[in-house]
Chain A
């Protein structure tokens, strides 16, 4: 019994050291994915509960952060993903790769038009822009932009082909640019030259 107990204590210690420090990052991503505080907290908690149960399957020395994100992504997809997946609001493929560049170049002169524009955008507006992305794109954008995972890591976390990660990231970027541009136009930061 003493052996069992010390094994339990050791297991817990390893878990606390390896897994708990990533809570901040997990919560940050959970917030963007669930779009609300309560679900994000539940999602992170459930992720840790699952991780703890499957801790024996974690290979010591491997990437605990990616492992935790993979668990969280699974939980999210299985339990939190919105029941009716929102259809694409825009046809991404119609957007020119460099449409934001074109818009900025023509509407706001100067050396660094994007810097001038971005300086005016608040945290909340960026959050909104991210949260307006369809879930599939949002996940890869958050994992890449905010968490800095590599394409290969994202492929493993989200269980996708490498090519799918790249194309979703690409289209997510374009959508994000469109969101921010719409926001900037609406607030009169730049003129809408598209119309």
Chain B
């Protein structure tokens, strides 16, 4: 093998793509040709340099952060898959459900990755205020409005029915609240000092902040998003194309399992 032939195989040999026969022949040549040997060494050093300097270029915290980010995103996708399975529940699903689901995905995607979208005051406080108002004056809800009438009042296309009694609490009544510029059905369950609010949103009209999505937990095959704040605890979950938000001021109350929608579980 002459120099020309050896150098033609240079990269194949370095990249371990050359055949065993070629490698042997090249090796024989390099044993007596110092010039070619140096050229091979130079190329090998270059490759080793790049590999060495860049192989460990990423640090562990960065990867851990990225891994958490990716896992969270996968959770979101699963959340959508699980919530789409809830179609098996006996609710009337309007034809626009698919479009609504698609917009929820977009909305959550946007809400999740948009910077600075998390805002405690705009996302949670309005709901907490409405709940506090209900706790302060439960009489506002004493007229037991038909849940269907309240739901119809917001023009939503929901056909949800609510349990009259759950966990010892009774459905007191419902009314329409103005929350974040939307008309939102608000129902109240009560027993003694224990009061639970139930808000109903169209899933495509509710913002789910990124910190909320991180709290995803599965209860009886359904996803729950759990926001714990000083003054109030809010649990979000989907039923059909509605997103239910339950609220209580009692953090020890089993709010995660509190699902007043009849037939959902």
Contact = CB atoms under 8 A, between A and B. Distances in A.
Given A8-B82, A52-B74, A151-B15, A114 B41 contact: yes
B7 A97 contact: yes
Contacts of A44: 66, 70
A182 to B, nearest CB: 14
Nearest to A44: B66
Interface in B34-63: 38-39, 41-43, 45-47, 49-51, 53-55, 57-58, 62-63
Interface in A145-193: 145-146, 148, 150-151, 166, 169-170, 173, 176-177, 180
B73 A24 contact: no
B252 to A, nearest CB: 29
B77 interface: yes
Given A24-B58, A114-B46, A166-B11, A48 B74 contact: yes
Contact of B88 (A1, A32, A141, A148): A1
A177 B50 CA distance: 11
B58 A28 contact: yes
A130 B54 contact: yes
B17 A130 contact: no
A121 B53 contact: yes
A166 B38 CA distance: 22
A123 interface: yes
A4 B11 CA distance: 51
Contacts of A127: 53-54, 57
A52 B53 contact: no
B94 interface: no
A121 B46 CA distance: 11
Interface stretch (A59-67, A80-88, A99-107): A99-107
B69 interface: yes
Q: Is the interface of B mostly helix, strand, loop or mixed?
A: helix
A168 to B, nearest CB: 12
Contacts of B88: 1
A45 B73 contact: yes
Given A15-B74, A23-B67, 15 more contacts: A1-B85, A5-B85, A5-B221, A31-B57, A44-B70, A48-B73, A101-B38, A112-B45, A118-B45, A121-B49, A123-B57, A126-B54, A151-B17, A169-B11, A176-B50
Interface of B: 7, 11, 15-17, 38-39, 41-43, 45-47, 49-51, 53-55, 57-58, 62-63, 66-67, 69-70, 73-74, 77-78, 81-82, 85, 88, 221
30 contacts: A2-B221, A4-B85, A23-B63, A27-B58, A27-B66, A28-B58, A41-B66, A44-B70, A45-B66, A48-B73, A49-B73, A101-B38, A114-B45, A118-B49, A121-B53, A123-B53, A123-B57, A127-B57, A144-B15, A145-B47, A145-B50, A145-B54, A146-B51, A146-B54, A146-B55, A150-B16, A151-B15, A169-B15, A170-B11, A173-B11
